[in-house]
């Protein structure tokens, strides 16, 4: 019983075996000792809270924040002891912050619940009791037979039993899982493929044994045991039999499958990876500042407590005649009194810690992130894709990047492959007008105008047409001769492929006369110059990153068993025993030097005895439940040997537009670019040179093809020495995957020293985890630089997640990189605006926001501290409780929030066209110790001026009213508070460079609101208030001309020195940014907008209307283009600058 209770509570989970046994249609054995396994139900749960746990769980998470927990303690102290201020002063702001955050998180979770209910309640059809039963998705159990129709998504992970096709195959698209839009073929085992009716399926007696759920989308190991006529047939099950939840059925009327993984155990749910929380440098600085201000708070509280008791050492001050102690106070413990007084001072000064800072920063990040999506300059019209933000927590980190790690294929290049050259039997060929022409021959030469293919050429092209995973549009395969003209030349067939290389090769082969026309069951059809040939597909040896090749075993029309293999030259050439190996190796290197992607093609003939042995080994490996991958790898290596080399292919992947300009701009901004790619050395170097990553004048250093630690270490030492000797010129480093593994093992420090002294680094032949290791190496180095990783494929995910900022490219290799990234853009060229404009703005805005918050709270609390020297540290408060509560919430909150959303201290085009300005904000320059010290000292200075200015002007002669009536302490406190609200608001106005009508409205509106609120609050007797010390105080203060004079004089005195300091620094020691501001002012640029640039002459109302249309989804980039608005007319101008000596005089943007 106790064990059962522990299991239910989750402390003692039941033992799980390595495999699960599933009885199809839940026909369990009839013997009594069978105990069915327990499986998860089919509910998907993406929500975080329930109705019952929302309040406690949300409160627990919020009070884990230091500032929230601190204010909770202060609030409890105010409730427990007699403090100078009401508990409402701490409780109300805390309640406001907690409530706003809880509402935001609750709303987001409600949306998740709504989406979950929609998915879990979707109608599905299940085979039960000999018929189809309609039920809800959440009711599907493991073992149920489910029917899925065309264009429907699979509600669970299913093992395919049958389809409407005789061979039991179906086509699916996994775009929602991995972004691949190609059609993938899945097949049922022959024994169940024939069961195409509900009645037949209901009679099926079978058991599936498979592995326990795991997240890998492409791995599934199992076997099915079918009972037929008193015998058991065992068939292997692999990824080709598994239909994943979230995938969609295509080109197939219906399928039947058995549920093997349900609910949160499906592969889709297991891939809901909770990414490690990334924290920005600004957030870390913010926490450091909070600790410093906590120390200041404790110092002020302890000092005030000590001075109170020092003052009360004199008897006349200890118990004055007007404030005699009670008997209880005289007899109370001195230690307890000291602690009580300390806590009271702590409460009095607690507002030096800005409670609303967190909520303001969260709002700024959340609202500010919309500007990236709205920016039309980041919109890619061809693919109709705009930039997207997956996390808003790292906006300001975009302005701090020091290293960019980028993939090559699909990131720097288009991932659009075009066949360029090939090598067949040691001869190079090019495609000329749809014909394969040997190098050196033209169409006019005698041999250049051939209509037939030589035997080697035809075999090579057949190998290309048979060894692939390409699919053809189903509509084009219906007619046997549909895609052909009378002359035997193919009309364009629509091919689908997960690999762009394969698609380019199959299309090239079809253009020169050998056409892959599709598959029918296990038969592959090829037409060679119009003559049809059928090859029976016997086995597919799937591609994997370790082997770096794929193979097919086919039976030719003559009955011969053939193996066709294609892959990287490093995996094919060593396994080839015949063919023009040396010539082909030379051609492969030549292709690579041209920047082409290379593949080698080979084949092997099997004798009947060899094929029988191979078939037996493959069957044993594929039916194994334990170590299936290792056994298959051994068998594949046994098969793929003694190859005869046919040739090699060269496919071009053209560069994306403006790659060179973007990389050069990153270099000018002080950002180092590292290219991490899986391509071979020569190809990677060629592309690096063509994209501007390596300059032609750069000294290229190499650390490649090292097999031992000693040789690698020696080479590293030589490279370090060479860099020191030639320190004048720029160096570029090339390192391959094997050498990198050796370097990182024992020579990490030396390797890092070499890398940091190189202007550009290229890592080739990299595995995905090696990419992440390189990023981690830089990220954790002593300098702790901010890193950014950008890529487009699943192999870039680990790198993207490891870097401080991860950016996914919406490319052709799926959406895994985009889903796991922090930001996603359509093209690499957009990176420059993302960093130089958005990153720059976000950093400046939030840096000012954070420091301004601490500044205004120092201004707020320091007069309270100074006032204690004039009231014998009696803990009398200077401000009214309502003012204490509303200062951060209402009176001073909006101007800084609007500033942090709209501020543009330099025009966006200036920032983008002058990347050197990015250096001004690097290394957290605006949130370092010096800026923090400046803002803190400024806060203390202004606070002293508020307090002592008011004291000097009014303290000695308080009869400032015409009737001789005197001012009291509440009037003095209100004067200080009024001066403070005006000054801190005006200080924000001085920091603002870009004024919109919204800035004007909230800046001057905040001051006006304060005056109106104070008049109503103090001008009316409110019946619900227990005491009203402020009654008529504010009206009386404003009726005094002397008070108005004091307010104006003190505000000017505070801000005058600040203005003088700004003017002197701007003229004597201007930064590059300030020079750009002066240039901008001289250029007459007046069209500024945070979202994007609009044409001159637009009014503020037009800009706001457009912003609201965007928020409502009515202003799409397509609609803007339909309106005839050109981005060039909106944004593009030519500016002239007075630049540094090494920069161009005029820049086009």
- The token duo for 1049 is 């004089």
Residues 6+ apart with CB under 8 A from 1120: 376
**Cβ-defined contacts of 1089-1092 (< 8 Å, 24+):** 1090/371, 1090/841, 1090/901, 1090/902, 1090/904, 1091/371, 1091/374, 1091/375, 1092/374, 1092/375, 1092/376, 1092/377, 1092/1130, 1092/1131
**Cβ-defined contacts of 115-118 (< 8 Å, 24+):** 115/46, 116/43, 116/44, 116/45, 116/46, 116/47
Instruction: Name the helix (H) or strand (E) containing 345.
Output: helix 334-349
- The token duo for 162 is 């049958």
Residues 6+ apart with CB under 8 A from 527: 484, 488, 490, 514, 515, 517, 533
Helices 628-639 and 608-623 cross at an angle (nearest 10°) of: 170
- The token duo for 818 is 């985009």
- The token duo for 1137 is 């600058």
| Distance between CA atoms of residues 499 and 344, nearest Å | 70
- The token duo for 1009 is 């609101």
Closest CA to 969 of 882, 862, 856, 870: 870
| Distance between CA atoms of residues 663 and 694, nearest Å | 10
Backbone angles phi, psi at 451, to 5 degrees: -110, -5
Cβ-based burial of 316 (10 A; exposed 0-12, middle 13-18, buried ≥19): exposed
Instruction: Name the helix (H) or strand (E) containing 832.
Output: helix 831-833
In whole angstroms, how far apart are CA 489 and each of 315, 435, 1145?
114, 11, 56
Strands 760-764 and 672-676: parallel
| Distance between CA atoms of residues 184 and 740, nearest Å | 36
| Strand partners of residue 650 | 421, 598
Do 560 and 603 touch, CB atoms closer than 8 A? no
Kindly report the CA angle at 325 between 323 and 327, in degrees rounded to 5? 155
Do 899 and 360 touch, CB atoms closer than 8 A? no
Count the neighbouring beta carbons within 10 Å of the beta carbon of residue 198.
16
Task: Assign 520 to helix, strand or coil.
Answer: strand
Helices 66-80 and 88-120 cross at an angle (nearest 10°) of: 130
Among 157, 341, 375, 407, the active-site one is: 407
Instruction: Name the helix (H) or strand (E) containing 787.
Output: strand 787-791
**18 has catalytic annotation:** no
| Distance between CA atoms of residues 426 and 478, nearest Å | 39
Closest CA to 551 of 460, 469, 461: 469
Catalytic residues: 407
């Amino acid at each position: 019983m106790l064990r059962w209770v522990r299991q239910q509570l989750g402390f003692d989970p039941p033992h799980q075996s390595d495999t699960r046994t599933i009885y199809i249609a839940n026909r369990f054995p009839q013997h009594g000792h069978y105990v069915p396994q327990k499986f998860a139900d089919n509910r998907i749960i993406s929500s975080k809270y329930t109705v019952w746990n929302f309040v406690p769980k949300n409160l627990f998470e919020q009070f884990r924040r230091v500032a929230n927990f601190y204010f909770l303690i202060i609030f409890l102290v105010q409730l427990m002891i007699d403090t100078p201020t009401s508990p409402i002063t701490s409780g109300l702001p805390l309640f406001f912050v907690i409530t706003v955050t809880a509402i935001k998180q609750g709303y987001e979770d409600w949306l998740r619940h709504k989406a979950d209910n929609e998915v879990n309640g979707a109608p599905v059809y299940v085979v039960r009791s000999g018929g189809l039963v309609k039920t809800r998705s959440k009711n599907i159990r493991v073992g149920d037979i489910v029917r899925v129709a065309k264009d429907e998504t699979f509600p669970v992970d299913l093992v395919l039993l049958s389809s409407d096709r005789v061979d039991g195959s179906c086509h699916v698209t996994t775009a929602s899982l991995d972004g691949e839009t190609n059609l993938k073929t899945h097949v049922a085992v022959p024994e169940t493929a024939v069961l195409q009716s509900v009645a037949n399926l209901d009679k099926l007696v079978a058991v599936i044994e498979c592995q326990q759920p795991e997240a890998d989308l492409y791995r599934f190991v199992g076997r099915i045991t079918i009972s037929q006529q008193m015998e058991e047939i065992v068939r292997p099950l692999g990824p080709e039999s598994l239909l994943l939840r979230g995938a969609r059925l295509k080109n197939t009327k219906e399928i039947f499958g058995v549920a093997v993984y349900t609910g949160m155990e499906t592969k889709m749910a297991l891939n809901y990876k909770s990414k490690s929380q990334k924290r920005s440098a600004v957030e870390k600085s913010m926490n450091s500042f909070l600790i410093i201000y906590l120390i200041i708070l404790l110092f002020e509280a302890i000092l005030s407590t000590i001075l109170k008791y020092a003052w009360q050492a004199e008897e006349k001050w200890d118990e004055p005649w007007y404030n005699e102690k009670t008997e209880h106070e005289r007899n109370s413990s001195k230690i307890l009194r000291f602690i009580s007084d300390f806590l009271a001072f702590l409460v009095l000064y607690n507002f030096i810690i800005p409670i609303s800072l967190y909520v303001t920063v969260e709002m700024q990040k959340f609202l500010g992130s919309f500007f990236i999506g709205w920016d039309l300059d980041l919109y890619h019209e061809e693919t109709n894709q705009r930039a997207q933000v997956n996390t808003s927590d790292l906006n300001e980190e975009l302005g701090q990047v020091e290293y960019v790690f980028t993939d090559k294929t699909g990131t720097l290049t288009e991932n659009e492959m075009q066949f360029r050259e090939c090598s067949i039997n040691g001869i190079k060929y090019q495609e000329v007008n749809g014909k394969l022409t040997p190098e050196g021959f033209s169409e006019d030469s005698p041999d250049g105008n051939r209509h037939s293919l030589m035997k080697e050429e035809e075999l090579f092209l057949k190998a290309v047409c048979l060894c692939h995973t390409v699919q053809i549009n189903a509509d084009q395969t219906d007619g046997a001769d549909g895609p052909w003209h009378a002359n035997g030349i193919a009309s364009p067939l629509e091919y689908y492929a997960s690999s762009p290389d394969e698609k380019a090769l199959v299309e090239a082969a079809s253009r020169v006369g050998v056409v892959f026309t599709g598959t029918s069951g296990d038969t592959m059809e090829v037409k060679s110059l119009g003559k049809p040939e059928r090859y029976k597909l016997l086995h597919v040896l799937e591609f994997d990153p370790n082997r770096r090749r794929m193979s097919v075993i086919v039976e030719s029309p003559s009955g011969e068993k053939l193996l066709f293999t294609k892959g990287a030259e490093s995996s094919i050439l060593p396994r080839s025993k015949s063919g023009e190996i040396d010539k082909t190796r030379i051609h492969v290197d030549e292709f690579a030097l041209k920047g082409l992607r290379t593949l080698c093609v080979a084949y092997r003939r099997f004798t009947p005895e060899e094929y029988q042995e191979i078939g037996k080994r493959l069957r044993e490996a594929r039916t194994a439940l334990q170590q299936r991958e290792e056994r298959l790898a051994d068998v594949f290596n046994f098969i793929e040997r003694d190859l005869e080399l046919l040739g090699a292919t060269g496919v071009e992947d053209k560069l994306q537009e403006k790659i060179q300009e973007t990389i050069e701009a990153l270099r000018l901004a002080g950002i180092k670019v590292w290219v991490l790619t899986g391509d071979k050395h020569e190809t990677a170097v060629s592309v690096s040179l063509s994209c501007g990553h390596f300059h032609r004048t750069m000294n290229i250093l190499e650390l490649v093809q090292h097999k031992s630690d000693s040789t690698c270490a020696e080479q590293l030492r030589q490279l370090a020495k060479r860099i020191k000797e030639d320190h004048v010129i720029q160096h570029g480093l090339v390192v391959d995957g094997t050498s990198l593994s050796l370097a990182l093992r024992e020579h990490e420090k030396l390797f890092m020293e070499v890398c940091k002294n190189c202007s550009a680094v290229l890592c080739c032949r990299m595995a995905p985890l090696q990419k992440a290791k390189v990023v981690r190496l830089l990220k954790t180095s002593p300098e702790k630089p901010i890193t950014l990783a950008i890529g487009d494929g699943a192999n870039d995910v680990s790198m993207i997640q490891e870097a401080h900022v991860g950016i996914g490219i919406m490319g052709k290799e799926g959406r895994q990189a985009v889903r796991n990234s922090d930001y996603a853009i359509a093209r690499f060229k957009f990176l420059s605006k993302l960093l130089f404009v958005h990153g720059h703005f976000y950093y400046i805005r939030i840096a000012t926001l954070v420091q301004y918050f601490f500044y205004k709270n120092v201004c707020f609390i320091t007069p309270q501290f100074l006032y204690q020297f004039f009231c014998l540290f009696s803990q009398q408060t200077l401000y009214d409780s309502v003012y204490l509560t509303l200062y951060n919430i209402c009176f001073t909150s909006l101007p800084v929030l609007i500033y942090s959303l709209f501020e543009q201290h330099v025009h966006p085009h200036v920032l983008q066209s002058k990347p050197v300005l990015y250096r001004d904000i690097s290394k957290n320059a605006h949130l370092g110790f010096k800026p923090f010290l400046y803002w803190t000292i400024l806060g203390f200075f202004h606070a002293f001026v508020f307090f002592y200015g008011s004291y000097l002007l009014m303290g000695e002669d308080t009869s400032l009213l015409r009737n001789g009536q005197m001012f009291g302490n509440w009037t003095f406190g209100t004067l200080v508070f009024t001066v403070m609200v005006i000054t801190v608001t005006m200080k924000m106005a001085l920091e603002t460079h870009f004024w919109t009508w919204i800035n004007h409205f909230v800046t001057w509106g905040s001051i006006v609101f304060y005056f109106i609120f104070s008049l109503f609050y103090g001008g009316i007797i409110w019946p619900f208030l227990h005491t009203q010390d402020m009654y008529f105080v504010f009206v009386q203060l404003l009726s005094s001309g002397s008070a108005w004079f004091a307010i104006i004089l003190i505000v000017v005195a505070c801000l005058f020195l600040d203005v003088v300091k700004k003017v002197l620094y701007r003229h004597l020691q201007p930064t590059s940014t300030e020079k750009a501001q002066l240039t901008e002012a001289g250029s007459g640029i007046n069209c500024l907008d945070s979202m994007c640039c609009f044409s001159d002459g637009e009014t503020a109302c037009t800009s706001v209307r457009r912003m609201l249309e965007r928020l409502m989804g009515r202003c799409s980039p397509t609609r803007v283009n339909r309106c005839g608005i050109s981005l060039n007319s909106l944004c593009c101008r030519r500016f002239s600058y007075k630049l540094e000596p090494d920069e161009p005089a005029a820049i086009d943007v």
